[in-house]
Amino acid sequence: MGLKFIEAHKFDIDDFLDNSYFEKFLDTSSEWIEKRTGIFTRQFSNCGNDLMALDLAKKFKNPMQDLDLIICASFTSKRRMPSISSLVRDELGGNKHCLCLDINLACAGFAAGLIIAESYLDKGRRAYIFASEKISDYMDMTDRRTAILFGDGAGGVLVEKNDKLWETDIASFPHEDSLNLDENSFITMDGKKVYRFAVEEVSNSIRRLLNKNNLRGEDVDKLILHQANERIINQLIARLGINKNNSLQNLEKYGNTSAASIPLVIAENIDLFKDKEKVILSGFGAGLSLASILMEW
């Protein structure tokens, strides 16, 4: 069994900040940031996660009142209750039997939300899975290791349970102080540890999915990886033997938007997907955790 993607949208933030923004207060340059990360611009939102999520939900044109499940993926929510997913359910006029969940798996959150939805839904039933991240609230603008990497964003998809190919691989590993955020503090990261985790464990995860279905890298029609860093993405593509042209990316525009990165890519490219294509999604990050999906579109 699997999921059919009915509709996808992203939250619109008006302004983009290019790398020269950081030259004013950090010992860095636009060229250094571009070379090290592949990021050219990012966006910082003027409103919080909940308002971003509510605005995003209004963009969907298909009926949203009869959903069985709404999942919000976010590690940056300041709201304890009611959950952002519950607020969205109210905005959509959803039925009272719809299960509403906010989950936090950081950058793996959206892919994990899809896996939960596929397990929960009956065939033909629908769910709304979205991510809303306002990372700028938790960035230390004096820390060059993290300030240049992240941006805010929100994106979501309406999905329906079907009977197509659907294989998943999830895993968790010791975090070893690789990527942390405590209450009333800023994000801290050991870039080398995160890089090694992503290149080694995500490639292993995707390879397990391919081997289980007697597929090779060249059989993958579309690849969407968490938009963490261009060097990580390029290493994974090379290790897996996937055609680089089949990797859909927007890292250069938005930077690392955590759980929102995969739905942002889907929303901007949904018209490129073709029926029966083999698609891989993989989110990875704090936990350390990963969630990978092989599906037939």
| pLDDT mean over 219-244 | 97
User: Which of 49, 72, 107, 246 is labelled catalytic?
Assistant: 107
pLDDT score of 184: 85
Q: Cα dist. 21→39, 133, 141, 158, 206 in Å?
A: 13, 21, 11, 36, 36
Output the pTM of the full model: 0.97
Q: What are phi and psi of 78, to 5 degrees?
A: -95, -5
Report the alpha-carbon distance of residue 262 to residue 189 in Å, rounded. 21
Catalytic pick among 9, 226, 229, 250: 226
Across the range 234-247, mean pLDDT stands at 97
Where, residue-wise, is CATH 3.40.47.10 in the chain?
2-162, 166-296
pLDDT at 95 over 90: no
Backbone angles phi, psi at 216, to 5 degrees: -120, 170
Looking at 3.90.1480.20, 3.40.640.10, 3.40.47.10, 3.10.105.10, the CATH number of the domain 2-162 comes to 3.40.47.10
Q: Is 107 a catalytic residue?
A: yes
Task: Give me the pLDDT at residue 216, please.
Answer: 97
Query: What CATH architecture is 166-296?
Result: 3-Layer(aba) Sandwich (3.40)
